[in-house]
Copies of this chain bind each other. A is one copy, B any other.
C-alpha cells in the first residue's frame, strides 16, 4: 500500500522496571535508574501508523473518526494518568515489563484488535522523551 496515515496520541504515566525475584543490585545493574522502587514517569508520545486503500471519493485511507475513537479508548483511557505496572493488568509484576518495546507491541495489538480488518496498523512508535523511542512493526 503506498498510502499511510500517522496519528499521534499522548499520555502521562508512571512505571518502573523491576523483577521481584531479583536482588536490588541485579535490578539496578540490569535496569539502571528505571529499577527504582517508587516508580518514575514520562510524558509518552505515541504515533500509530495505519494503511489501507485510498478511497477515491473521500481521499482517506482510514476513517479518522473511527481511529481517534479507538486511540482514545485503547490508549488514552488506559494509559493516561496511570501507573502502568499497577493499573494495567498485563504489565503487573511477573507479566510484561513496561518497556517501550512492550508498550508499542501491546498498543499495536489493542488498536489493531479494535479496528478490525478495515484499517491495518503497520507501525506503532512509543517515545518516552525526544531521545528514546521504541517501534513495533508487525510482520
Contact = CB atoms under 8 A, between A and B. Distances in A.
Interface residues of A, number: 63
Copies of this chain, complex-wide, total 6
Nearest to A1: B137
A104 interface: yes
A4 B135 contact: yes
A69 B131 CA distance: 15
A39 B39 contact: yes
Interface of A: 2-10, 12-15, 17, 19, 30-34, 36, 38-43, 49, 54, 57-61, 64-65, 80-83, 86-87, 96-102, 104-105, 128-139
Closest 5 CB pairs of A and B: A41-B41, A59-B97, A33-B81, A38-B83, A59-B99
